[in-house]
Structure 1
C-alpha cells in the first residue's frame, strides 16, 4: 500500500522514522494546545477574572474600583467595551452612595439642635413634681431623644469614616486594659438583664491603633451582646495572642443568626431582627467593620440561631514597647 499516490511507500519507511514523525506531530499538537490555552487565558480568562473580582468588591460596598482598558479606543474589543461600561456603572453607584451619605449627614445635623432642646426640656420636667403617668410620658420622651441622638451620632461617624475624613491617630497601647474599661461601662446594663460576664484574657497585649476608634468597636460589640442576649444569659470576652496577631472575641448566648443574616450583618441599615423586638438602627456593625478596615484589622462572626453569636476581631500585634519591656523586667 502506498501513501500520496506513487510517491511514498510506507512499507519502505524505517520504523525509527515513523516513530520520529509520530513524535513530531504529537509534540507539535501539544505545543499548539498550550499556545492556544495561553492565548485564551491571556485574552479572555484573566480579564474576566479581573472583572469578576472588581464586581465582588463593588458588591461589598467599595466604589473606588477602576479597571483599565486593555487597548486604545481605535483597537477596543468587546472586553474593553465591557470594562468601560463597568467603570461607568461603578462611578454612578459611587455618586449615588455619596449623595445618600451627604443627605444623611445634612439631615443628621439639622436634627441635632431640635433633639438637644427636646432632651434638655424633658430633663427639666423630670425634676418637677408629677404623677406616675406624667413621669412615664417624660421618661418616654428622654428615652426616645437619647435613641435618636445615638442614631444621629452613628450616622455622622459612619459618614466621616466612609469619606475617610477621620485620620486614625495610631499609638501603641494595652488592648486588654481598654477592654476592661469598656466592659465596666456596661455594668448597669448587664445587671439589668441578669447576665453573667466572663473574661478570659492575658495580663496585657499591645496593639498599634487609634484608641478612640477601637473603643467604638468594643462598645458596639458589647452593646449588641447585651441587647440581643436572653435574660439570665452570659457574655464572654476572650483575648489571645501569638507572635503576630491579637484576637479578641465577644460571645453571647442570645438570639443568634442564620446564614442569610450573617451575609448582610455588616451592611449599613441592615437589621437581622425583622420583628424589631429590640431597638437598633443597623449602623453599629457597619461602623465596626469600617473602623477595623481603617485600622488594618478584620472581623469574623460565627452564630447559631437560638444559641448565640461570637464576633472575633483580629489585629496585628505591636512590637514590644519600652513600657512593656520594663514591665517584664520588673516581673
Structure 2
C-alpha cells in the first residue's frame, strides 16, 4: 500500500504546469518590452502605443485561457463525463462498462485511482449479479426436483391398483424428497444469515476432541452399512474457543461427504493435532477424488463436482463450512487426486492471550482434574 501511495500523484496539476506558465509569462514580458522599445524608436503616436500592448496582452490571455481550458478538459471534464456515462449504464443494469484511466499505470493520480476503484466495483457488481442469477436458477432447479418426485409418487398413490409394498416404497421416496427439500431450505436460510452477518456466533471454550467423537459416533450406522475402515487419531482433549453448534455443522458436513464419496470397503481417516497455536483436523477418504477444476470450485454454492451423488446433497454444505470457519477465524484447505480420494484440513486458533480466556481455560482444566475427566 505504501508503494502504491508513492506512485500516485496527489494533484492533477503538477509543478510542470507552473513552470510552463512562468516560462510563457517571462517570454511574453520580454516580447512586450521589445514592442515598447520598437514603438518608441519608430515614434508611433500615443494611441497606437496604448492599443498595441492591450491587443498583445489580450492575445496572450486568450492563449493562456485556451491552454488552461484544454488542460482542464483533458484532466477533469472528459474523464468525469466518461465516468458519468458509465455510472448511468451501471444504474440501468449494464455491468460490462469499463472506464479507461487518464494516465499510464506508473503515473496515476487520485482521479485515476477513483476510476480504477469504479471499474473494480462494477466488476464485483457484475459478479454478484451473475451469482444472484445462478443462485436463483440453482435454487429453482434444486427445489423443482424433490417437488416433482413428491408430486409423481403422490399421483401413483392415488391409483388404487398399487400394492402395499409399492405404497411403502412410494411413501419412503416422498419422505426422502421432503427431507432433501427441507434440508435445502434450511441450508439456504442458514447460509444467507451467515453471509449477511445476521448470526452472532456464541463463542465458548469447549473440548473439540469430545465434539469430534460425538459427531463420528452419529455416523456409526453408515460406517457399518458401507463397511468402511475408520481410522481415528485424536488427542485426549483440546480446548478451542468457537461456536460449538456451528462447528458441529462443519464436522457433520465433512464426515458425511467422506462417507458419501467413499465406495463400500474404503477407508476414512480423521486426524486431530495441535501445533503453533492452532488445532488441525483433517478428514481423509479413499473415494473418487476430484479434478483440479472441481477443487477450484468445491466451496462455491450449488457446485457438485460428482453428479452421480447429486441426489444425496445440494451443493451448499461446503459453502456453509467455509463461511462458518471465516467467522471462527479459521480456514479450510483441500487436497485431492482423482480416483485416489480427498483430504479436507481445518485449522482453528486455540491461543488467546487475553485474561478472560486464560481464566476460563484454567477453570475448565481445574474442573476436569477435580472430576477425574468425568
TM-score past 0.5 threshold: yes
Q: Which residue of 1 aligns with 2:261?
A: 228
Q: Report the Cα offset of residue 147 of structure 1.
A: 1.4
Which of 99, 115, 119 is the equivalent residue of 1:85?
Answer: 119
Residues 230 and 267 in structure 2, CA contact (< 8 A), matched pair in contact too: yes
Is 1:42 paired with 2:38? no
* Alignment length (residue pairs): 255
The structure-2 alpha-carbon separation of the partners of 1:322 and 1:132, relative to structure 1 and needing over 3 Å to count, comes to: same
Number of the residue aligned with 2:306: 273
Asked whether the equivalents of residues 284 and 343 of structure 2 are also in contact (C-alpha less than 8 Å), the reply is yes
**Residues 43 and 279 (structure 1), Cα distance of their counterparts in 2 relative to 1, 3 Å cut:** same
Counterparts of 1:249-328 in structure 2 under 5 Å?
249-276=282-309, 279-318=312-351, 319=358, 320-328=361-369
Displacement of 1:160: 0.9
Moved more, 265-274 or 313-322: 313-322
Q: 1:142 aligns with which of 175, 179, 187?
A: 175
2:202 to 169, 173, 180: 169
Distance between the aligned counterparts of 2:4 and 2:249, measured in 1?
49
Q: Report the 3-state secondary structure (helix = DSSP H, G, I; strand = E; otherwise coil) of the residue aligned with 1:272.
A: coil
Structure 2 residues not aligned, in runs of 5+: 9-100, 102-108, 352-357
> What is the distance in 2 between the residues matched to 1:158 and 1:174?
25
Cα distance between partner residues in 1 of 2:283 and 2:218: 15
Deviation (angstroms), 1:196: 1.9
Q: CA-to-partner distance for each residue in 1:296-325, whole Å, 9 max, x for gaps?
A: 000111112111111110001155331224
Q: Report the aligned-residue RMSD.
A: 3.6
For 1:242 and 1:325, the matched residues in 2 are separated by 23
Query: Matched residues in 2 for 1:241 and 1:143: separation?
Result: 39
Checking the alignment, whether the CA contact within 8 Å between 1:228 and 1:278 is kept in structure 2 is: no
Matches of 2:186 and 2:261 in 1, distance apart? 21
TM-score (norm 1): 0.67
Corresponding residue number in structure 2 for 1:34: none
CA distance in 1, matches of 2:130, 2:169: 42
Deviations 1:16-60 (A, max 9, x none): xxxxxxxxxxxxxxxxxxxxxx9998327xxxxxxxxxxxxxxxx
Which shows bigger deviation, 82-91 or 133-142?
A: 82-91
Q: Answer whether contact 2:304 2:310 (CA < 8 A) is retained.
A: no
TM-score (norm 2): 0.59
**Residues 301 and 316 of structure 2 are in contact (CA less than 8 Å); yes or no, is this contact kept in structure 1?**
yes
Aligned pairs for 1:176-255 within 5 A? 176-255=209-288
Measure, in 2, the Cα distance between the counterparts of 1:40 and 1:269.
38
